[in-house]
Amino acid sequence: MTRILAIDGALARCSAAVVVDGEVLAGRHQDAARGHAALLPALAQAVLADAGVAAPTLDLIAVTVGPGSFTGVRAGLALAHGIALAAGVPLVGVSVGEALAEAMPHLGRRALWCAIDSRRGRIFLERDGVVTTMALDDLPRPDGPVAIAGDAAIAVAARLAAREADVMLTDARLPVARHVALVGERRLAGDLPPRAPQPIYVDPPEARLPAAGLRPAPAP
């Protein structure tokens, strides 16, 4: 029996679930564009209580690492690292694309593209485990049939269809904690390559040092 706590705050929903052998013992979620740092600890505490599971008895914690909201991803990771360290439980990272792919195992020969809104007309595009960032107008043409998931899926599918690509729009928009747990379990078993529980950074940081440099330290 494998007991997994899954945590996700990568996009506009916070969720947590306790999953045992693929079945959800307890799960909660709340749609939220912000405030992930306050919502996620309460959700994790609630699902552990609902499931009657103590953190030290868990076998694994799985957490989404992006792409997505900078603050949401970091809030989820901070919580997951804290629980894992305190309970002595293994921790693995799961990308948003991996979680969405777990929800759609029967795509046949269609490749899955996971498109995440990066704002200002740009997206994060996850394909074959690789995440890139680009403007919507710079989308590459698929080499073959594709399925589109993610919170920017409608915009991406529309643009590809306008270029007469063989595209299928899926209804998978946001990760589900159960799928985060299932990917984490396969990763722990060695069926998937390792993914560190660290945020996926694609864009360079927006913060910049002043052109004149930092102020000198005050005199003692």
Q: What is the 3-state secondary structure (H, E, C) of the chain?
A: CCEEEEEECCCCEEEEEEEECCEEEEEEEEECCCCHHHHHHHHHHHHHHHHCCCHHHCCEEEEECCCCCHHHHHHHHHHHHHHHHHHCCCEEEECHHHHHHHCCCCCCCCEEEEEEEEECCEEEEEECCEEEEEEHHHCCCCCCCEEEECCCHHHHHHHHHHCCCCEEECCCCCCCHHHHHHHHHHHHCCCCCCCCCCCCCCCCCCCCCCCCCCCCCCCC
Whether the pLDDT of residue 142 is over 70: the answer is yes
pLDDT at position 199 is 95
Token couple for 42: 């309460």
Please check whether residue 160 is in contact with residue 154, taking contact to mean a CB–CB distance below 8 angstroms. no
The whole-number average pLDDT for the span 40-48 is 97
Q: Which of 207, 44, 11, 24 is nearest to 115 (CA)?
A: 11
**Could you tell me the pLDDT band of residue 105, with boundaries at 50, 70 and 90?**
confident
Confidence band of 220 (pLDDT split at 50, 70, 90): low
pLDDT in tens, 75-90: 999 999 999 999 999 9
Label residue 212 by pLDDT band (50, 70, 90): low
- Give the chain's domains with CATH numbers: 3-98+174-188 (3.30.420.40), 107-169 (no CATH)
What is the model's pLDDT at position 5? 98
pTM, 2 dp: 0.89
Which pLDDT band holds residue 129 (cuts at 50, 70, 90)?
confident
Per-residue pLDDT, averaged over 176-186, amounts to: 97
